[in-house]
Structure 1
Amino acid sequence: MKAAINQLPVFYRYLFSYMALFLLPLLVLGVTGYHQLVHIVGDDVERNNQALLQDLQDGMDQKMILLNRIAGQLESVSELSPYVLTHDYYNVYQGKKVLESKVVDESVREVALHIRGTDFLLSSTSIYKVNSFIDEFYQYKQWTSAQFNDDLNRLTTPQLRPAEDVSISGLPNQRLVTYIVPIPINSLHPYGTVLFILKENELLKSLPVAGGNAIVFDREGRVLAAQTPTDYLHDPGFFGKIVNGKAKYQDVTIQHITYAASYKKSDKSGFTYVTMLPKSTLVAPINRAIWQWGSWMAAIFLAGCVLVYVLMIFNYNPVKRLAALVETIRGQSLRRANVFEMIGNVIHDMADSNRSLGLKLEANRSAVMEHLLASILKGEFTSVEALNEQGKEIGFLLPYSETAVLMLEFPASFVPMKGRLHEEVDAWFGGQIVGYRKESLEERRMLFIISSACSPEAWREWLNQMHEHLTAVFQAPITMGVGNRYAEVVQAGRSYLEASTAIDYKLIKGNQRVIFFDELLVYDHADLLSPRRVLEDLEIVLQHGNAGRVAETVHQIGMRMKQSGLTLFVARELCYDMIRKFIAYADKRNSGGATTSFPDVLTLTEYMTLDEIVDLLTTACATYCDLLESKKPANPSALIQQITQYISRHCGEYDFSVQRIAEHFSLSLSYLSRYFKEQTGRTIMDYMNEVRIDHAKRLLKAEDYSVKDIVQQIGYSDVSSFIRKFKQTVGVTPGEYRKQHR
């Protein structure tokens, strides 16, 4: 059983469990409600039955009281006195009218008065001879003439004869109840007898016992009257079966029909009153209520099941989509019974893969970080946003608006402790000052690129406090050179030159302190040669694009630099700005690998004389002029063909990137992107994605690799992004593509 349940799909297992949870309280509610309903309706039926019995008793007792009262009233009527009735025939006629008035309802067929000692009966309808009355007009089957005469003349107490069949002259047989009352009532020597002839079918006519019966028993247990005369009334043991001293409400089976029988004995008359109602009639309201209750319970259950099903579909959809994604990644269908287990396995595999990728990324993080820091000093990033976009994957971020360079110099004996010094400096970064270490070309120096948002005063205070801390910790002369802070990240190279120049002033300022570049008089004697004017002149000739004119202008600038007596820093700064101009115009003119041909700011700091700096500037100018005069290849597509072939061969490698393409062909990122777009009409990233997607399509058609393995082979790092890109490009998921082409 358990194994069969485990084979069910997860959706149906959860659906059935929720339905079972819903059904359990519904069953409890249904059973308790059913019992309460049966109890309530049963009590109501019993109350109605008791009320019916009470009505039967009240009606019959009131009838007997009424008849006794009528008999008593006849005593006082002068027209009906023995003397008057025996001496004046006219008064006999008047007495007849009086008796006629005593027929009070349909149940009284006739009222007759007999004066003892006479041989006639005066009734409400006629005057009878006694013998003629019993022999001719009312022929009782069990009441003989002798008994009749004896009862009329000898009874001293009222007597009620049970209902019996009577043949009436000229009419069909009827069942009549006869009530004989001697008058005066309760007299030991009555002078007359009143005879009430009652119709049995009218006595109990008003009782609502459809399909059942209402019965009146006398003190001896004889049936006095019944609403419906039937055969079972003649059973001598019938009274004992109904009135047995047990519950006054019981089930009795008679002639294969079950009745709910109730009885009640009157204290006034001594009669026993019985109602018999068919059990089917009594329980009909209960059955109807139960049916309605069950119908409502079933409707609620069905509605609840529908609601549970709808909610299950709604809540299961994310799991279904996740399962579909897992199927796509694995390249095979999941067993629906173990969908969560399969998803868990895939997530576990992805977690292992991510950990592996994380380890690889961490191993390359230092190299990537070093490359980014070098690019900052070279001025390759024109905005902080572009820099942060490339650095976010390795956690590199310059969050604030101003960038500066900090350089530390320490004794040669302190070189083995550089790692510890780095840790101490790193501990000071945080809040509004964030910094990253860049490897320096000199062992005795340590370089930091810093992003700051604090005020100039707080900046100086922070640097001085850190210097005091380092000096106290290492007990060694540490010099700190601080370049100016710039709002443009492209000026980070200038701040590097300033920090390097500040360090060079240690012999003047002291070698165990913080030296701020803006405190130095490095611009002395610069008035003979205005750097701003020099850059404007160079800008003009570069715009014309004439190599000879550019060379001549740079030669004149170099001569003026030697004659002007510029400080070493100003000369370096001017050379740095002019080289950046060469790089910018080389990129504009699509000169290929121009940027890597020019010296960077790190190289520039190695030159210690004006002659060396002028020679470096002249070499850079010659490189630029060669680029201007070099002719474009006869086949413009030669380079683009090499680039596309390189992409096709290496795009499946994990560390493949646009930066790697640029470095391989000695091109700047900006030039490579622009050149590729001009030659192909699309971006290099779009082309790389197309090559990878084509490679993935071939593998999906021909191999049985999982999607995860394919992703690794084509150079993607994230499975979900690949699936999204594949569907966006091809129109279907990888799994669907494999099914279509198998």
Structure 2
Amino acid sequence: MSKAPGKPSTSVRSRWLRSYAIVLLVPIVLMGVTYFQTRRVIEHEINRANTALLTQLQQDIDSHLEYAYRLSGNIAYNEHVNALLVQQRTLGSAQRITMVEAIKDFKVYNSTSRYLNHFYIYFQEGDFVLTESSNYTSDMYYDLHLADTELTQVNWKRLLGQQYRGQFMNMSSIAGAGKRGMLFMQSLPMGERGAPRATLVVELSEEQLLPTIRNVQAYNQGEVFILDSSSQVLTSSLAEPSDMPGLKGLRGELGTVRSQWRGEEVVISYIQSGRTNWTYAYVLPAKLYSEKAEYVRNLTLVMLLVALGLGTLSAVWLARRNYHPLQRLMQSLALRAKIDPHGRGNEYAYIEEALERTLGRNHEMNRIIEQQKKVLYSNLLLRLLKGRVERGYPIREALREYGIELHSDRFAVLLFYVEDYSGLLGAQDDPGETKHEFVQLILSNIVEELAGHAHQGWMTEIDGMLACIVNVREEASDEAARADLLQLAEEAQRFIGRKFHILFTVAVSNLHVMAEGLPAAYQEALEAMEYKLLYGSQAIIGYDQIRQQDASYLYPLEKEQQLINHVKAGEHAKAQAILDEVIDRNLAEPGLSIEMVRCLMFDMTSTMMKAAMEANLDQSELYAHNLRAVQELTGGSTVAAMRSRMSEFLAEVCAHVTSRRHSHSERLKAQALDYIHAHYADNNLSVNTISEHCGVHPSYLSRYFKSQVGETVSDYINKLRVEHAKRLLAEDEILIKDVGEAVGFFSISTFIRLFKKYEGVTPSVYRETARLE
């Protein structure tokens, strides 16, 4: 196929062909692995079958050879044989009767095994042979049974004169090639040392063993060998028994080894009898394994060639067929795109670059449009809030452009002042511009969603705060709408504070109509936000709460003089009462303006400074404390914070006055400690109760106690209670719960936690340790 105009030099079609070729390698590799695994399986199965045949042969022969052991035992303990062993020198009539009785027993013994030819006993001192049918002199027995063998009579008697303990022997190694079989030799009496008195010889029939052996041989045309415990061949399936080198090194109960025999490689499977210590070996030519594996190999090769041929044809056809759509796409892009296809890699790289350029341009255009839309949207809301919309401006149509459909003509404004969001970012984070925008995003999304439950709302940033324009539903009354707005503010504070740890104050305006009323609603929300100084942080301030304002506050001269007198006398409780009375009375008056509240705080602060100077106190720290209070007031602190600061200042002034009169420092410490030791068992004991008893402010007492004692009041009380609890745990048998209550702990869990904190173990463990000690 001719190369298309503008087509890159490296074609995707060639890559597809290479990919298909790689895919073809997968079945080829799998078939190769299958061949080798199949060869291993064939070898394993042949070896397993050989082992099974050998196991059957071993069990069959062992079951019959066991008879030789039982026969030797029966003969060794036969009373007639034992009598002949003792009296074999003189054979009288009694001894001959004993022989007859023994022969009767022998006939019974010889009737149960098909592997047994016959057996005889040679008596050394009597020089006679006793068989299962008769008795002979040694000369007569040799002439009848052994004269035709290569074993001389002298060697035969020498053989019988040796000591045997149930030993099997190959008959051919004794009698020569003229006779085959196995012998079982046992000296009598059994267990006696030295020269034997008699020797039991059991001849095993090799004619009966060979058919069983040849049955195994016939399975795979191998050779069977039976070896004794010293690896000597007892018998085999060969016509002439012979040794082979590989049989000498067989180890273990069973296994398979490879060796060389008669010029070819053989595989020897073997198994050892646990009863006779004989080894049964099956020698099989290794070529039999190869013959069975070659068939699998040839079949595998044929299938590989077929798969390779068909796969190659399929790969070429599929590559040509799949490349046609891509070729048409490349031709279309080359006509429309302004990108040179040469030097761009393959077709995919060219298409990817063209698409990335197109999508990049579209993304950039959409981003710019969205940014402009957000700016225009925020600008529209700011213009509505600040009344910068010209008369007759189509507000509904403008909002509809941003997907906003008004529910009614009534609006309200909620103003949000963010005070703290360190819990969201973490102490280590720096609250920069990006994090501030993140906080605004959280507030905007959540407030708009909450507003949408009953009405609808839109958030925007204005003058360093966030404003939410709420459009009230048509069917909602004014009272219900105002209740919904307050509930919206409460839910926003609760949810955002709990989930995101963002703290803020909310100001809520009244309801107004359409665009002309939005600037008024925003101004109402701004005025309400001013009163966060009075209501404190995280407050919800409605414009209805601040609409009516009185001109001034009430601070009579007699109250001011009383406050000065109490301070000069060091009477903190009475001075604090005057301070609380004046502040509570003025704050209780509805509509007191925030400016008047600031003036009241300044006035009362100056009163306390005047009292300190009239008391002739030369304490620079008091003035520094008062300066901080003034700075907080001018800095916009809340009334609650200012009140707390003034109370602390008042406590310090009174404490210094009392200290000058009565060395109050040491007496306050002693008074506090005495009170703690006297009331440690009271679970209501706290800094407040101690400060009330001592007549000082709680915050002052806390700082004073820490500086004098070295630890906080709560730590000192808890340690004192734990020490008393240790005494009760060591001496009394009361319940741990009762111990905790007896020393002033409110709950057993608190008792256990604090006890373990200071002692390192729980109360129960401490009690057990104390008992052991």
- TM-score of Structure 1 vs Structure 2, range by shorter chain: 0.3 to 0.5
The normalised TM-score by structure 2 is 0.33
The normalised TM-score by structure 1 is 0.35
Larger-Rg structure: 1
